[in-house]
Amino acid sequence: MPTQALTPITLITGASRGIGAATARLLAARGHDLALNYRRDAGAAEALAAELRAQGRRVLTLAADVSDAGQVLAMFERIDAGLGRLTGLVNNAGIVAPAARVQDMSPVRIEQIFRVNVLGSFLCAQQAVARMSRRQGGAGGAIVNVSSRAAQLGSPGLYVDYAASKGAIDTFTLGLAREVIDEGIRVNGVRPGIIDTEIHASGGMADLLPGAVAGIPMQRMGRAEEVAEAIAWLLSDASSYTVGSMLDVGGGR
Ligand code: NAP
């Protein structure tokens, strides 16, 4: 039995740029109606939405901090009213922080990383499961969590807090997948390597990129579109027997 309605309705968190925006473009081309979440950059989200609406898709833009339970609930209620019952969620919103050793990380920094990267993914998944679960009147669906190769590399001297938050996403993916698969919801994840987006500059890490790229077997950064392909496959019925898996998209790293 197919797990998705005729027109998939998918929420992508952190869709205003980078991997989230590339995923939105690919899913729109594959016939998804989309809810595009962002935190601050309304202009970027609106420009993307206009581009995708011009292709005939229904698109909502939704400002919400994914680490705030009230804002997440309000976001899902707007999707219910504006698009209908959700069939897909991409837990993509995530942040890094400037390079630091563990002993120098402030509690505020560590807490913020875990709030956005981990709590935010839990909060969005809770709302998505409530709408997708066949036990709760839903039609099933798929969730893709965006982790990182850092989860397995640890990122010493850079951002062990970020790496650990992505390790939590790996375990969250496995546990949630096994918890909800018999309700018609497939949960999987991707672990991108070093991808050419603005996240590195936002974390004050742009200077470290050339050295990091030298350690990638493919000798180049990945493109957001290359991660989007993996996400789109995991969301689609083409991956119908793939459950609780993490797909590395890291150029061999
Ligand atoms: P990016 O270019 O920095 O984009 C991050 C997106 O997340 C933006 O749309 C941002 O919205 C949004 N966002 C940040 N905090 C948010 C919050 N609290 N609530 C809602 N939205 C929030 O990042 P990216 O490189 O595309 O990364 C996307 C995901 O891939 C992240 O989970 C990241 O950890 C993961 N990843 C990236 C790489 C890489 O090398 N780029 C590697 C491995 C994993 P605003 O613009 O409105 O603030």
Spell out the domain ranges in the chain.
9-249
Q: What is the residue whose two structure tokens read 């790293």? A: 253
Atom number in ligand 1 closest to CA 198: 2
- Note the pLDDT tens digit of each residue in 115-132: 999 999 999 999 999 999
Q: Phi, psi (5° rounding) for residue 125?
A: -65, -40
pTM reported for the whole predicted model: 0.97
Contacts of 73 (CB under 8 A, 6+ apart): 127
Ligand 1, pocket-test mutation among 155, 197, 198, most atoms within 8 A of CB: 197
Predicted local confidence at residue 5, as pLDDT? 46
Query: Has residue 76 got a pLDDT over 70?
Result: yes
Contact 189, 247 (CB under 8 A): yes
DSSP string, 131-191: HH-GGGT---EEEEEE--THHHH--TTT-HHHHHHHHHHHHHHHHHHHHHGGGTEEEEEEE
Catalytic residue status for 38: no
Asked if the 9-249 domain carries CATH number 3.90.550.10, the reply is no
Q: Residue 237 Cα, ligand 1 centroid: separation in angstroms?
A: 26
- Higher local confidence (pLDDT), 39 or 208: 39
> 171: how many CB neighbours lie within 10 A of its CB?
12
Dihedral sign of CA atoms 148, 152, 153, 157 in order: positive
The C-alpha atoms of residue 173 and residue 89 are separated, in whole angstroms, by 13
